[in-house]
């Protein structure tokens, strides 16, 4: 308890205090006895007036008063009060300095990540330009060689007109064509046959023939190529099949080349072309944030699952292993996976929001694996939309690695939880499980996400986006994942340094937890 006497500011105040004490002697009912023993008040007044002049009697009285126990106690209290005020002021100054230092470090960290990302984009842009120029030069050289060959053939034909249409044996000559290595296409032709087993087709491509045919029809105009004088174009179905089989199995390009009877570089090019077409054509149709009507339906379904109202999505962040990049390798170093697997691991992140059916409604792909979940969220387009007020009255349920904000609802992470908080965490865990199970099916269905891929780092976000879109198509068409393809999803969640970003959100979470427990909506498994 803080005790202070603000009215005791100088020595003259001691005389004002003397009147508060009870009478020391009952000699006379009409006289007031002072501490110095003087019966005459007028004499005491004169002696007090003479203090400034050096009077011996008044100075002795004041010294006696200063030496009294009451004076020592009051002086100690005043000193304690002043010392406490100084400590509070010093604590306030230290707190402000710590806060300013923390904000400065956060700002520097964000600037460093942004600068790194910009440098990475510039580097990859330069690589793309160099690849484009190299490809252009090689095509020009090939065209020149073909032209020279054609001219030489015409000259040879003009020198020997009698042999223009026939060979030495009298038969017709064949049209000159580009030399192509003869590769077997039996494996693909068997699966492309109408009588091929539906079950085996589903095992190979992770989807039924009907879903595969629908995807081919949607992408036909985007991936179809025309026949040339040198060779026939690869059919649309084979192009799509190369991409989907590569994503589904994660097999190296040399194996893909043997299966489909195509060159390794051709298979790699087809995978990127089809993934780009999926992003351009199918993503706007099958991966988008729900409109008002769908959002209402989503909220109702999540509320039936957990009892928590206004939940518009379940959010989760996973890591995709990659080969160590050549630049800024430390940004992609995954310390937690390295410690668990006992070998150096690098990764990039995929953040996704799903609806009650496990269909992605928002994805953020490509940030380095060293970034925690809360920083990945701050870099996402979802975070920008929320700051603009587009997620009003909507909760996105995150994990313990995300911060509590006005639109992000996360479980309690402190120790010694109450029954109400335990019950809330149990129910919010039901919503979290929807997103985690969806990511587990994503990685089981597309095995290329389970191991390091041959795709370049700058091209990987397009491939991962295509996997998310194809996952949505399969989920919407109720394509089951074969139980044979098992995968355990492990992503360590780091509690952010600043886990509470909004006091209003904290109050709202407490109210939700109270309603869940006291209205019989919360479970009791945490008591078992």
Confidence band for 16, pLDDT divided at 50, 70 and 90: very low
The verdict on residue 93 lying in a domain is no
Who's near 505: CB < 8 A, 6+ residues apart? 404, 405, 406, 408, 409
User: Mean per-residue pLDDT for 281-295?
Assistant: 95
* Total number of domains in the chain: 2
For tokens 């407490």, what's the residue?
510
Name which residue leads in pLDDT, 112 or 458.
458
Q: How big is the CA angle at 220 (ends 216 and 225), to the nearest 5 degrees?
A: 125
Q: What is the per-residue pLDDT for 181?
A: 65
Q: Are residues 413 and 498 in the same domain?
A: yes
Last residue of a domain, one of 257, 285, 313: 285
305 shares its domain with 268:
no
> In this predicted structure, what is the pLDDT of residue 137?
73
Is 494 within a domain?
Answer: yes
Residue 68: pLDDT above 90?
A: no
Report the C-alpha gap between 62 and 267 in whole angstroms: 104
pLDDT of residue 268: 95
Backbone dihedral angles phi then psi of residue 366, each to the nearest 5 degrees: 110, -5
Look at residue 46 and tell me if it is in a domain: no
Distance CA 507, CA 502 (A): 9
Among 285, 307, 327, give the residue marking a domain's end: 285
Domain shared by 495 and 404, yes or no: yes
Residue 505 lies in a domain: yes
Q: What is the rounded average pLDDT of the residues 97-121?
A: 82
Which residues are registered as beta bridge partners of 65?
none
Q: According to the model, what pLDDT value does residue 487 have?
A: 82
Residue 52, Cβ density class (10 Å: 0-12 exposed, 13-18 middle, ≥19 buried): exposed
Please check whether residue 311 lies inside any domain of the structure.
yes
Question: Do 196 and 333 share a domain, yes or no?
Answer: no
Residue 275 lies inside a defined structural domain of this protein:
yes
What does pLDDT average to over the chain? 81
Q: Report, as an integer, the average pLDDT of 321-332.
A: 91
Do 307 and 355 lie in one domain? The reply is: yes
pLDDT above 90: percentage of residues in the chain: 51
- Within a domain: 312: yes
Q: What proportion of the chain, given as a percentage, has pLDDT over 70? A: 77
pLDDT > 60? residue 66: no
Domain boundary among 243, 258, 285: 285
Query: What gap in Å lies between CA 480 and CA 487, rounded to an integer?
Result: 15
- For residue 356, give its domain range: 290-450+487-519
- Return the C-alpha torsion angle 32, 34, 39, 40, nearest 10: -90
């Amino acid at each position: 308890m803080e005790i202070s006497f603000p009215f005791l500011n100088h020595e003259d105040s001691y005389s004002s205090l003397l009147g508060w004490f009870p009478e020391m002697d009952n000699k006379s009912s009409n006289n007031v006895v002072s501490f110095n023993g003087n019966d005459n008040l007028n004499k005491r007044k004169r002696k007090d007036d003479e203090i400034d002049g050096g009077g011996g009697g008044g100075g002795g009285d004041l010294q006696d008063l200063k030496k009294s126990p009451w004076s020592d106690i009051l002086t100690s209290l005043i000193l304690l009060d002043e010392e406490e005020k100084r400590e509070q002021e010093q604590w306030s100054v230290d707190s402000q300095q710590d806060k300013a230092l923390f904000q400065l470090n956060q700002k520097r960290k964000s600037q460093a990540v942004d600068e790194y990302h910009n440098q990475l984009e510039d580097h990859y842009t330069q690589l793309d330009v160099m690849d484009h120029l190299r490809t252009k030069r090689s095509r020009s050289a090939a065209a020149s060689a073909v032209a020279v060959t054609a001219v030489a053939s015409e000259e040879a034909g003009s020198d020997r007109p009698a042999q223009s249409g026939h060979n030495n044996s009298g038969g017709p000559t064949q049209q000159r064509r580009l030399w192509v290595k003869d590769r077997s296409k039996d494996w693909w032709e068997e699966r492309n046959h109408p009588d091929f087993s539906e079950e085996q087709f589903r095992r190979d491509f992770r989807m039924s023939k009907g879903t595969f045919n629908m995807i081919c029809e949607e992408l036909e105009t985007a991936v179809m190529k025309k026949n040339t004088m040198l060779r026939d174009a690869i059919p649309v179905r084979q192009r799509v099949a190369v991409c989907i089989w590569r994503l589904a199995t994660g097999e190296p390009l040399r194996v893909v080349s043997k299966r489909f009877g195509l060159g390794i570089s051709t298979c790699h090019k087809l995978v990127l072309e089809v993934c780009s077409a999926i992003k351009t054509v199918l993503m706007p149709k099958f991966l988008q944030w729900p409109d008002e009507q769908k959002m209402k339906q989503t909220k109702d379904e999540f509320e039936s699952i957990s009892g928590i109202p206004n939940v518009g999505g379940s959010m989760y962040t996973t890591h995709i292993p990659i080969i160590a990049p050549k630049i800024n390798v430390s940004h992609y170093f995954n310390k937690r996976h390295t410690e668990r697997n006992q070998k150096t691991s690098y990764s990039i992140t995929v953040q996704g929001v799903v609806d009650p059916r496990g269909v992605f409604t928002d994805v953020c792909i490509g940030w380095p694996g060293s970034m925690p979940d809360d920083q990945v969220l701050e870099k996402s387009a979802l975070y920008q939309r929320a700051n603009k007020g587009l997620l009003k009255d909507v909760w996105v349920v995150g994990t313990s690695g995300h911060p509590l904000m006005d639109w992000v609802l996360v479980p309690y992470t402190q120790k010694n939880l109450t029954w109400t908080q335990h019950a809330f965490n149990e129910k919010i865990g039901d919503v979290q499980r929807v997103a985690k199970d969806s990511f587990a099916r994503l990685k089981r269905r597309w095995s290329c996400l389970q191991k390091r891929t041959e795709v370049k780092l700058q091209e990987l976000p397009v491939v991962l986006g295509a996997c998310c879109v194809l996952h949505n198509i399969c989920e919407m068409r109720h394509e089951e994942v074969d139980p044979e393809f098992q995968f355990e999803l492990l992503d360590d969640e780091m509690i952010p340094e600043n886990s509470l970003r909004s006091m209003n959100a904290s109050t709202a979470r407490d109210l939700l937890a109270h309603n869940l427990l006291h209205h019989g909506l919360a479970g009791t498994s945490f008591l078992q």
